[in-house]
Amino acid sequence: MKLRQRSSEDVSGFLDRGTNMTGELQFAGLVRLDGNFHGSISTDDVLIVGEHAVIHADIRVGEIEIHGQIFGNIEANRKVDILPTGRIRGDIRTTLLTIAPGGQVDGQIVMANEKVDELATVSGAFSEEASTQ
């Protein structure tokens, strides 16, 4: 699996190797994290987790490309790409998942044809039908 070829103009934000950040990260565009992050991450766009990144966060994104380590749950409306050095300890909810040889997931994976937000609405409707019968 090839890495995405992006120019530096495509990147909206960057947390470099050797940096630490704690908090809530919300952004638009493409952000690459190569440092350590603790908290929560939310965007409708793209997050790239660099090979040296260690992230302890629940993550809601449009797309995510994982080269580093994530400890937390991931919800991606479009897709999750786990590259050979990618490691996840947490659950994944997405419509499209690719795992390159060497990539690891320790958690549950839920995939559906609908977007993650639509999936929650549909599953709630089924629960209500079951309880009324």
124 Ramachandran zone, left/alpha/beta (phi>0; psi -120 to 50): alpha
Residue 121's pLDDT is 44
**Tens-digit pLDDT profile for residues 82-116:** 999 999 999 999 999 999 999 999 999 999 776 55
Percentage of residues of the chain with pLDDT beyond 70: 77
Read off the amino acid at residue 124: G
pLDDT digits (tens, 9 = 90+) for 51-63: 999 999 999 999 9
- Map residue 33 onto helix, strand or coil: strand
Provide the pLDDT for residue 118: 52
List the structure tokens of 10.
């495509």
DSSP string, 37-90: EEEEEE-SSEEEE-TT-EEEEEEEEEEEEESSEEES-EEEEEEEEE-TT-EEES
The confidence band for 16, taking pLDDT boundaries of 50, 70 and 90, is confident
For 86, other C-beta atoms within 10 Å of its C-beta total: 24
pLDDT at 14: 82
This prediction's pTM: 0.78
Q: Is 20 exposed, middle or buried (0-12, 13-18, 19+ CB in 10 A)?
A: exposed
Whether pLDDT at 117 is above 90: no
